[in-house]
Each structure stands twice: as structure tokens, then as C-alpha cells.
């Protein structure tokens, strides 16, 4: 299956600042997905990122808050902008790898203070 | 609207016994289902999946059962081992050539006791 490197693994940020999370895949993939897991909650899809096109955001998530880049078939970034304590979550990237299900990165644990 | 539900937030089982984790869904368009295991500080790890054309899929100690009429699936782990202690998520998607999002349940914390 694909191997995903995600960084940073964790960060503590001041409110009002922004954090960019990077996701590197060891294989070329068409779609990459960004999820959020709030404390005690399920994983919720933020957006789907295709290379060469604008990301598609799910209901409740907007590009100004969560801008995404997808410059090539192995890399993507998610930025959490103008952070508030409510953004404290685990953020995960994922790629589709059907023989093995969707594969996830190890996640970024974000705490906003 | 929670389309995938895991009604048991936690489950405790003795080592060697069977663990049964349950999942219900409401969206009849879902046709592919997956189970993931998640340890703290790690991303979810894929365990096993099942297509809606099947009612059972087995992989080693893990078996997933699907009851389409009841919109219910379950994961059986036999025998349970202490290393199985983790949070288990079921997920569902509409497989139309791939590239579709996963909808996750809220997870069940499994604890396998010695």
C-alpha cells in the first residue's frame, strides 16, 4: 500500500495564527483527502484535493479557513488559518488505495491556545 | 445527520474470546464498507472491507458480516488479543470507480483484558 508521511506530528499554536500541514505520498495518486477528528468525535472529511484543480470542500468547510494546495501527484498541504481553540483537532491526510482500503497518514495533533 | 453509527462507545472482552463490534448505516447508496483500527497518536489502519454484493468477508482473525436489509455490519475478532485494544471505526462509501469519500462512524473503544 501507499506510505504517507505527514508533518508536523503535533503542534501548539497561538490563536489567530495559521499552521500548514504537509502530506507526502511515496506513490503518485489522483486524489488526496483531508480529514479532521475533533476530540471524542469521528473522522470528518474536510476536502478532496485533485492535482491541477481546486479542492472540493465538504459542507461546513471553506477555502478561506482551510486552503489546500496540490502541486503534484505525491504532495499536498492543508493550512488551518486564523486558528481558534475550536480548531484543536487531529488532522489527517488520506489517499485511495483500493486493494488496501484508504491509507492514512499518522496525523497532526493541533492544540490552539 | 449521522449516516454511520456505532452505538457502543466501548467494549471490554477477555483475551481469547470473541469481540463483536457493530455498525449501522442509514444511506442505502453505500455499497462498500471498511473497518479501521486506530491507536492513539497514529492514523487509522485499514483492517478489512466488504462489498455490498457479499454478506461475509474473512481475513485471518477478522471477519466482517453485512446485512443489507438491516443496514447493519459487524466485525468479529476471534480470538481477541491484548494488541487488539484500540479504537475501531467502521466507514462506508459509494464505490463508483473510486475516489469517493468515506463516511465514518463514531468509533468503539475495544479493550482486551488478560
* Residue-level pLDDT at A39: 87
Interchain pair B36, A101: CB under 8 A: yes
CATH number, domain containing residue A10: 2.60.40.10
Domain B4-113: assigned CATH number: 2.60.40.10
Q: What is the pLDDT of residues B37-61, one digit of tens each?
A: 999 888 999 999 999 999 999 999 9
Q: What is the pLDDT of residues B79-101, one digit of tens each?
A: 999 999 999 999 998 865 556 78
* Percent of chain A predicted with pLDDT > 90: 80
Residue with the three cell numbers 488496501? A100
Q: What is the pLDDT of residues A9-42, one digit of tens each?
A: 999 999 999 999 999 999 999 889 999 999 888 9
Determine the structural domain holding residue A39 and report its residue range: 4-112
Q: What is the pLDDT of residues B4-29, one digit of tens each?
A: 999 999 999 999 999 999 999 999 99
Q: How far is A2 from chain B (nearest CA, A)?
A: 12
- Which DSSP helix (H) or strand (E) runs through A16? none
A95 in contact with chain B, both atoms CB, cutoff 8 A: no
- Tally of structural domains, chain A: 1
Closest residue on chain B to A108 (Cα) = B41
Closest residue on chain A to B91 (Cα) = A43
Q: What is the pLDDT of residues A39-62, one digit of tens each?
A: 888 999 999 998 888 899 999 999
In angstroms, the CA A61 to CA A80 distance is 11
Residues of A in contact with B102 (CB under 8 A): 33, 43, 45, 94, 102
Amino acid at each position: 500500500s501507499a506510505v504517507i508521511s505527514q508533518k508536523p506530528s503535533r503542534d501548539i499554536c497561538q490563536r489567530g495564527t495559521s499552521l500548514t500541514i504537509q502530506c507526502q505520498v511515496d506513490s503518485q495518486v489522483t486524489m488526496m483527502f483531508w480529514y479532521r477528528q475533533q476530540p471524542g468525535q469521528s473522522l470528518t472529511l474536510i476536502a478532496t484535493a485533485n492535482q491541477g484543480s481546486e479542492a472540493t470542500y465538504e459542507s461546513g468547510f471553506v477555502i478561506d479557513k482551510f486552503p489546500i494546495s496540490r502541486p503534484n501527484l505525491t504532495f499536498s498541504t492543508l493550512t488551518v488559518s486564523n486558528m481558534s481553540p475550536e480548531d484543536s483537532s487531529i488532522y489527517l491526510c488520506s489517499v485511495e488505495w483500493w486493494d488496501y482500503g484508504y491509507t492514512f497518514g499518522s496525523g497532526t495533533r493541533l492544540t490552539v491556545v | 445527520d449521522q449516516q454511520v453509527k456505532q452505538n457502543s462507545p466501548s467494549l471490554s472482552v477477555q483475551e481469547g474470546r470473541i469481540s463483536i463490534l457493530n455498525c449501522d448505516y442509514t444511506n442505502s447508496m453505500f455499497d462498500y464498507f471498511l473497518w479501521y483500527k486506530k491507536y492513539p497518536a497514529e492514523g487509522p489502519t485499514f483492517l478489512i472491507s466488504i462489498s455490498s454484493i457479499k454478506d461475509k468477508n474473512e481475513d485471518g482473525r477478522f471477519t466482517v458480516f453485512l446485512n443489507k436489509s438491516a443496514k447493519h455490519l459487524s466485525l468479529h475478532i476471534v480470538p481477541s488479543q491484548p494488541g487488539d485494544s484500540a479504537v475501531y471505526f467502521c466507514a462506508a462509501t459509494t464505490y463508483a470507480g473510486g475516489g469517493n469519500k468515506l463516511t465514518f462512524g463514531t468509533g468503539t473503544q475495544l479493550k482486551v483484558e488478560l
